[in-house]
């Protein structure tokens, strides 16, 4: 009898643990076939778990599940809306119980090609960074054990078992699945992509805008440029994905009480006001703009970059200071026509196939 009493809890433990990791009778998840144009180059998400079809499908479902929040109303999708290219049309997002955040929600795009996340670069790994939105009290606000508990029901018992070799749902595996899903979000069907693939002919204005966008001005030989590509220069029109080179100060006024950006992470004074150079993919759909959502339109953004006062802003990046169309320095000096041309090019980055839920 005594023996049995001891054996029972052990059996019970085994029952709870009953996942079959490594068990050859439990089918392995199916490897996910990556599809992105070759000009996107090599993915940078090698620190993360490999993608599987079942993991991605589970992650997609979790992404929209507001029962994983403290008030039952907020999911990832509340702030990263597919119809806004996975950004948020509000200046700052609203989390549980109507609580306001402090930054404009990043658009989720081409994350598999990046290595530093958030506006200030404080995260290197998506699976880990997801602890933040899931548990922060101004976002979704549940603890990890609470999330695990919410997941102990169908369809999740079946879906987790399929995705993770028979495992029971946990908050950590939920993060793994969501990380798989968001890494599959690649935008590559815009006019710009079709032009690269030879199946779209840009209008004259779009071509002029693209040339301006990628050209560093050289006033000595009258090469005019808008200098955007100096920072937004990769195929995904984001910054350099490696080290912290993709973090720049683009001359936004940063007041004493404001967000210092990268400086809060590195502690270096020269990093004050540096933020992640975001991808401009689908930029026409993701207003308002900048980490604090201060600009409502692309016209306002262009006026910011064209403002002669920009060049003397504290800590403004050298690439901006050197990007002048006048021999006497001091301003990008784009004409109204040139600004409109650049905006026309920015519209070619819109990918309507990307807006599926
Ligand atoms: C209440 C709004 C809100 C919710 C809910 C939310 N996010 Fe975010 N997300 C943000 C904001 C704001 C940022 C930018 C924060 C920063 O940089 O400090 C962000 C940034 C991110 C980033 C970094 C992107 C980049 O390019 O650096 C990822 C990835 C992300 N969120 C994924 C998710 C996922 C997945 C969920 C659901 C588990 C989620 N978020 C839930 C508002 C939200
Ligand atoms: C010195 C580097 C640099 C240059 C040059 C530059 N940018 Fe930026 N850009 C940034 C950074 C950094 C941010 C994010 C700043 C922030 O939010 O604090 C940004 C943000 C933006 C945004 C807002 C993105 C969003 O998701 O909110 C747009 C639009 C933009 N840039 C367009 C342009 C255009 C057009 C040009 C050329 C006229 C240009 N940029 C030149 C670094 C640069």
Of all ligands present, the nearest one to the C-alpha of 81 is 1
Cα 201 from Cα 329, distance rounded (Å): 35
pLDDT at 313: 87
Cα 26 from Cα 23, distance rounded (Å): 6
Asked if residues 324 and 332 have their Cβ atoms less than 8 Å apart, the reply is yes
Cβ of residue 93 lying under 6 Å from some atom of ligand 1: yes
Measure 164 CA to ligand 1 centroid, in angstroms: 25
CB atoms within 10 A of CB 206: 20
Closest protein CA for atom 21 of ligand 1: 106
Cβ of residue 80 lying under 6 Å from some atom of ligand 1: yes
pLDDT tens, position by position, for the chain (357 residues)? 344 444 444 444 444 444 555 566 788 999 999 999 999 999 999 989 999 999 999 999 999 999 999 999 999 999 999 999 999 999 999 999 999 999 999 999 999 999 999 999 999 999 999 999 999 999 999 999 999 999 999 999 999 999 999 999 999 999 999 999 999 999 999 999 999 999 999 999 999 999 999 999 999 999 999 999 999 998 888 888 887 889 999 999 777 667 899 999 999 999 999 999 999 999 999 999 999 999 999 999 999 999 999 988 888 999 999 999 998 877 899 999 999 999 999 999 999 999 986
Atom of ligand 1 nearest to the CA of 76: 37
pLDDT at 328: 83
Closest protein CA for atom 35 of ligand 1: 76
pLDDT at 245: 85
pLDDT at 19: 53
Cβ of residue 290 lying under 6 Å from some atom of ligand 1: no
Closest protein CA for atom 41 of ligand 2: 228
Measure 276 CA to ligand 2 centroid, in angstroms: 9
Cβ of residue 76 lying under 6 Å from some atom of ligand 1: yes
Q: Which of 79, 131, 182 to mutate to test the pocket of ligand 1 (most atoms within 8 A of CB)?
A: 79
Of all ligands present, the nearest one to the C-alpha of 277 is 2
pLDDT at 21: 56
Cβ of residue 280 lying under 6 Å from some atom of ligand 2: yes
Measure 6 CA to ligand 2 centroid, in angstroms: 65
Phi, psi of 53, deg, nearest 5: -60, -45
Q: What domains can you pick out in the chain, each with its CATH number?
A: 15-183 (1.10.760.10), 191-355 (1.10.760.10)
Tokens of 297: 């339109």
pLDDT at 26: 80
Measure 232 CA to ligand 2 centroid, in angstroms: 7
């Amino acid at each position: 009898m005594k023996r049995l009493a001891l054996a029972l809890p052990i059996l019970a433990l085994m029952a709870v643990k009953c996942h079959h990791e490594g068990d050859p009778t439990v089918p392995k998840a199916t490897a996910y076939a990556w599809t992105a144009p070759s000009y996107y180059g090599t993915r940078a998400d090698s620190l993360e778990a490999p993608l599987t079809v079942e993991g991605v499908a589970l992650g997609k479902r979790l992404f929209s599940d507001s029962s994983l929040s403290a008030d039952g109303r907020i999911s990832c999708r509340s702030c990263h809306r597919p119809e806004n290219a996975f950004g948020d049309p509000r200046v700052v997002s609203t989390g549980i119980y109507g609580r306001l955040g402090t930054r404009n929600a990043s658009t989720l795009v081409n994350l598999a090609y990046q290595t530093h996340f958030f506006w200030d670069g404080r995260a290197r790994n998506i699976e880990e960074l997801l602890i933040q939105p899931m548990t922060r009290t101004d976002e979704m606000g549940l603890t990890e054990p609470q999330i695990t508990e919410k997941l102990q029901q169908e369809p999740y018992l079946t879906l987790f078992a399929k995705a993770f070799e028979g495992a029971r749902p946990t908050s950590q595996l939920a993060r793994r699945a969501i990380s798989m899903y968001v890494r599959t979000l690649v935008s590559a069907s815009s006019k710009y992509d079709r032009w690269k693939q030879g199946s779209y002919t840009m209008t004259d204005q779009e071509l002029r805008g693209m040339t301006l966008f990628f050209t560093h001005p050289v006033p000595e030989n009258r090469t005019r440029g808008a200098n955007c590509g100096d920072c937004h220069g990769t195929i995904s029109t984001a910054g350099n994905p490696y080290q912290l080179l993709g973090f720049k100060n683009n001359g936004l006024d940063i007041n004493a009480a404001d967000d210092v950006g990268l400086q809060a992470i590195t502690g270096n004074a020269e990093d004050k006001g540096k933020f992640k150079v975001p991808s401009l993919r689908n930029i026409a759909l993701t207003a308002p703009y900048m980490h604090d959502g201060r600009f409502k339109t692309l016209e306002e953004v262009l006026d910011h970059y064209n403002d002669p006062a920009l060049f003397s802003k504290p800590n403004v990046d050298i690439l901006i200071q050197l990007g002048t169309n006048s021999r006497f320095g001091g301003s990008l000096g784009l004409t109204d026509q040139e600004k409109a041309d650049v905006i026309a090019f920015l519209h070619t980055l819109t990918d309507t196939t990307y807006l599926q839920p």
